[in-house]
Amino acid sequence: MAVEIPKSLADLPTSTPRFIGKAVNRVEDPQLLTGRAEFIDNVTLSGMLHCAILRSPHAHARIKSIDVREAEKLPGVVAVVTGEDATRWSQRITTVPEKWGTYCLAADKVRYVGEPVAAVAASSRYVAEDALELINVDYEALPAVVNATTAAAPDSPLIFEEHGSNVMLQRVFTWGDVDAAFAAADQVFTEKFRWNRLGANPLETFGVISQWDTTDGNLTCHGSFQSQYHMGLGTAAALGLPSNKVRMISQPHGGSFGGKGGMRGTVITALLSRKADGRPVKWIEDRMEYLAGGAGQSWDRHYEASLACKKDGTVLGFRVKLLDDLGATAEGFGAVSAAKPLTAFTGCYAIPVAQYDLTIVATNKLPGSPYRGMGPPPHNFVLEQMMDIAARGLGMDPAQIRRKNYIPPEAFPYTIASGNEYDSGNYEAALDTVLKMANYQQLRAEQAQARQQGRLLGIGLVNTIEPGVFDWNAYAIVGMQQTGVPEGATVGIDILGKIVAKIGFSLEGQGQYTVITQVLADYFGVELEDVRVVYQDSLSAPPHFGPGGSRLGVAITGAVLGAAERVKEKLVTVAARLLQSDPQNVELRDGKVGIKGVPQASMPIAQVAGAMLARSDLLPPGMDPNPEATYVWTAPGRTPADEQGRAKSYLTAANACHLVLVEVDAETGQVQILKYYIADDCGTRLNPANVEGMTQGGVAQGVGAALLEEYVYNEDGQLLTSTFMDYLLPTINEVPMTEKVALCTPSPFTPLGAKGVGEGAMHTTPAAIMCAINDALVPLGVRALEVPASPHRLWKLLQGKAKS
Amino acid sequence: MPTSRRIRLTVNGKPHEVVVEPRTTLVDLLRGELALTGTHVGCEHGVCGACTILWNGKAVRSCIMLAVQADGADLMTVEGLAHDGQLHPIQQAFMEEHGLQCGFCTPGFLMSVYELLQRNPNPTDEEIKETLGGHICRCTGYQSIMKSVRLAAQKLKASSPPGPATGVS
């Protein structure tokens, strides 16, 4: 039965929404503020054992033998597993691209430093770690392949011998007549860029408790799963279990940002539980394990890009060549990050043709994982530097070249060269807003003055798209097959009129429980306190994915509104009977169900729900007496990808324009952010405080990306940044307090006109800061082409300049 | 295995006597035997600040201290802030200013802010930044935390909050 999802606030059965669009206090907060949220490490099950994992000290080595006998003898140790158990009781972990995975414990050889080799379940973590020291592994070291270019060469040592090459994927995607566009150009600008590895680093690492009941074959896993549903499918596949035998229970988690993968830990603890006669086994990844062996490394990229331009600044075509170093395996699904740029390949610009020459290569480093933004942040860095390089080459202002090339507001919905469709937007309005906020002309004058004093002041001005509401079809080029990402919810009214929403994801930080509460309180005309959101596990909830790809705010709003519409239909049917009227004349409005236009002929929803559950004698014959309904929302109008990867994929295109003023210290190479302005358009804001928090949090991660964060491996494949003393996360001293203005171009395609907004600033901030740095360096004639622009890197650049 | 030690300590005003292995970290004692799981472990090497508690009134990182060091100490954890279902004004301020998202780092922030506002009820922005600079939040980008602390200072001045369970001996 088709359900009409309200497309705007005016479509709600409410005269004046009281909660949607307001920065209400979050329903999540009291339990988080008091330390009562049930994060995975707070969970203790009866008979629970603790796991510790032995990890490879080598980047590449053959395992000649493993001796666990001494470890097994240690008092308190209950089970020890190695690659032998993994090959006996499990399958290779699923990957994209396919067949680039291994078992959860290294079976024949190790492929990166930190790869799990053996694991122990014991009475405490302390004892489990003692036992690791008693395990003897005999390795035969192999040459480590750390450099992506070397790894792609035909004579490179092989990471997976069976493939005969380390190249996981190599293809050129051409969208339109790119050669003709470049031939027609007045000028072509070309540059190379390097984006170094960085990653999510949520403050809580991954954790899991697995209990494998070997008598009935059921596996139950509590964990900090970003998507319990998909972790359940992956775990079932790895263990050869029917999918309905695997039940995933997602605990609230302390952030994710894509980096909460835990497939190996989940499978390892399941194997230990099996060996320990079904006792629950807990594994909490420690920070050093996370940094070296977790889901925390992303985007190790070498770029070459070209922009074909006319003299007047019109961009005719865009070419990108990417060598993406995915690390040792494809188990982290990091390859999807190389595909996602297709969803906004040409940014805010009406660039008619483009080409993507993509090579994904394996090296002896940690497998890459998704991270907030999922690939476009480096891509946007490249595109936006190219726009600035072109502007300078053509003697234009950065604002001018962008304005010249924006997709105009009347062109939406607009299909970009790489196939995705943008729903709506007004990029020039965002640009003008930011220029005004920053007093741009004045800022340029200040910069000119500073330059005369020898100071390196720079302005970065960047406008990007945030593709929102992800779809699997966006990743078709690396092997994802599906179209559509269903998200379900069940909404019910109890016998006393209180409302419960049941959903399939737990707290992660974005405030979706609050959004659900706001939406339902307004829909049914009740108070926030009258709505409760209840979490359901992977086998109990309707089909779901949970947070990811800037989707959940939109998707869950669609799901709960769809379910509410279905409940409304039942209430109307029953109320019509009670009021002796025709259902067509009855409506829900402001919390009451009654005859249209006759305010006195109405009754509160509690009364109707109460009648349904307690007065069956009053119901229409055959009436379903449950004032509850389920709805599964999926984005409308999505299309499978064509052979060039083009698809209508991400449903929404939010956009943001950032302007940042930086100063580069010519003596030290240190970058200071002096001012930061943001105009942000994500359509209807369901909860402006949530949006503001997402934006500012993205700015912080963007600052980390541009200036601080980098995983460094030496030539032997040893990780040199294995603590927070070496891997630098931004603190309050590095993150600017930003000035923000909200614009609103509603989406015509989504519930209430909202757009996905969880990743926006991460798409924009690194590019904006790098543009600003390069603007500062213009008088010196050098370009900062490597991210992060650490003091050391910039200092070297400045020194080189001083010498030449 | 070295011999276990018996220690006495006060946590949130409640006396405890426990037997611990010398190598047990303080945070493991709090979260394990004392079941005070509000104190979180983020890095286990003293950088992120998530595990911050008060030790005789001073903010310390419980992940890089040993439980035996707490013999005779008066500790306060995040569980000592709210009373009888009433959030402490600092917690209330964080809620109103949206000073948290995932909430994992939050207990550590709260304890440092508590200490700051105890010794300095009128901190400048620079003083607030100096305190918060020892904590990593990966979600919020700090702007709302800054606002939360300013609001917390106002709230504490405006009302006399429920006294701390302990924290200063």
Q: Could you report the per-residue pLDDT of A135-150, keeping only the tens digit for each?
A: 999 999 999 999 999 9
Q: What is the pLDDT of residue A800?
A: 82
Count residue pairs from A and B with Cβ separation < 8 A. Answer: 175
Q: What is the pLDDT of residue B161?
A: 52
Query: Residue A356 in contact with residue A342, Cβ under 8 Å?
Result: yes
pTM greater than 0.95 (yes/no): yes
The pLDDT of A644-670, averaged and rounded, is 97
Question: Do residue A34 and residue B82 have CB atoms under 8 angstroms apart?
Answer: yes
B84 within domain boundaries: no
What is the distance between the alpha carbons of residues A594 and A587, in angstroms, rounded to a whole number?
6
CATH of the domain at B124: 1.10.150.120
Question: Do residue A35 and residue B129 have CB atoms under 8 angstroms apart?
Answer: no
CA distance A294 to chain B (A): 13
Q: Give A734-793 pLDDT, tens digit per residue.
A: 999 999 999 999 999 999 999 999 998 999 999 999 999 999 999 999 999 999 999 999
Q: Give A2-55 pLDDT, tens digit per residue.
A: 899 999 999 999 999 999 999 999 999 999 999 999 999 999 999 999 999 999
Domains A9-35+486-633 and A301-476+639-789 share a fold: yes
Share of residues in chain A with pLDDT > 70 (%) = 100
Amino acid occupying residue A143: P
Q: Which helix (H) or strand (E) holds A509?
A: none
Q: What is the pLDDT of residue A760?
A: 82
A9-35+486-633 sits in which CATH class? alpha beta
Asked, as a colleague might, if the bond just before A413 is cis with ω within 30 of 0, I would say yes
Question: Do residue B94 and residue A33 have CB atoms under 8 angstroms apart?
Answer: yes
Instruction: Answer yes or no: do B9 and B73 share one domain.
Output: yes
Instruction: Answer yes or no: do B11 and B74 share one domain.
Output: yes
A40-142+205-253+261-293 sits in which CATH class? alpha beta
DSSP one-letter code for A624? -
B166 within domain boundaries: no
Instruction: Answer yes or no: do B68 and B95 share one domain.
Output: no
Integer angstrom CA distances of residue A509 from A585, B26, B35, B38: 43, 27, 24, 16
Instruction: Answer yes or no: do B109 and B153 share one domain.
Output: yes
Q: How confident is the model at residue A1 (pLDDT cuts 50, 70, 90)?
A: low
Share of residues in chain A with pLDDT > 90 (%) = 98
* Reported ipTM exceeds the 0.85 cut: yes
Q: Which residue of A has its CA nearest to B96?
A: A25
Q: What is the pLDDT of residue A304?
A: 98
Tell me the residue ranges of DSSP E strands in A494-583: 499-503, 531-535
CB contact B83 to A (< 8 Å): no
Optimal mutation site among A678, A731, A734, A735, interface B, most CBs of chain B within 10 A: A731
Optimal mutation site among B39, B53, B63, B139, interface A, most CBs of chain A within 10 A: B139
For Cα atoms A83, A49, A84, give the angle at the middle one, nearest 5 degrees: 10
Q: What is the pLDDT of residue A802?
A: 58
Q: Give A584-615 pLDDT, tens digit per residue.
A: 999 999 999 999 999 899 999 999 999 999 99
Q: How confident is the model at residue B159 (pLDDT cuts 50, 70, 90)?
A: confident
CB contact B61 to A (< 8 Å): no
Q: What is the mean pLDDT of chain A?
A: 97
Which of B16, B46, B79 marks a domain boundary?
A: B79
Polymer length in residues for chain A: 804
The candidate with the shortest Cα–Cα distance to A613, out of A533, A521, A496, is: A496
**Chain A neighbors of B21, CB-CB under 8 A:** 126
The pLDDT of B108-137, averaged and rounded, is 98
Q: How confident is the model at residue A505 (pLDDT cuts 50, 70, 90)?
A: very high
Q: Which fold has domain A301-476+639-789?
A: Aldehyde Oxidoreductase; domain 4 (3.30.365)
Instruction: Answer yes or no: do B57 and B103 share one domain.
Output: no
The candidate with the shortest Cα–Cα distance to A156, out of A247, A620, A165, A249, is: A165
Q: How confident is the model at residue B169 (pLDDT cuts 50, 70, 90)?
A: very low
B164 within domain boundaries: no
What is the distance between the alpha carbons of residues A308 and A183, in angstroms, rounded to a whole number?
8
Amino acid occupying residue A27: V
CB contact B78 to A (< 8 Å): yes
Q: What is the pLDDT of residue B160?
A: 64
Instruction: Answer yes or no: do B12 and B71 share one domain.
Output: yes
What is the distance between the alpha carbons of residues A288 and A298, in angstroms, rounded to a whole number?
16
B169 within domain boundaries: no
Range(s) of the domain holding residue B151? 89-158
Q: Give A356-402 pLDDT, tens digit per residue.
A: 999 999 999 999 999 999 999 999 999 999 999 999 999 999 999 99
B168 within domain boundaries: no
Question: Do residue B47 and residue A693 have CB atoms under 8 angstroms apart?
Answer: no
Optimal mutation site among B54, B138, B142, B147, interface A, most CBs of chain A within 10 A: B138
B43 within domain boundaries: yes
> Judged by CB atoms within 8 Å, which residues 113-142 of B form the interface with A?
129, 132-142
CA distance B68 to chain A (A): 16
CA distance B13 to chain A (A): 17
Q: What is the pLDDT of residue B168?
A: 44
Q: Give A266-311 pLDDT, tens digit per residue.
A: 999 999 999 999 999 999 999 999 999 999 999 999 999 999 999 9
Sketch the domain layout of chain A as residue ranges.
9-35+486-633, 40-142+205-253+261-293, 301-476+639-789
Which of B58, B79, B100 marks a domain boundary?
A: B79
Instruction: Answer yes or no: do B135 and B109 share one domain.
Output: yes
What is the distance between the alpha carbons of residues B49 and B30, in angstroms, rounded to a whole number?
16
Question: Do residue A255 and residue B96 have CB atoms under 8 angstroms apart?
Answer: no
Which of B27, B46, B79 marks a domain boundary?
A: B79
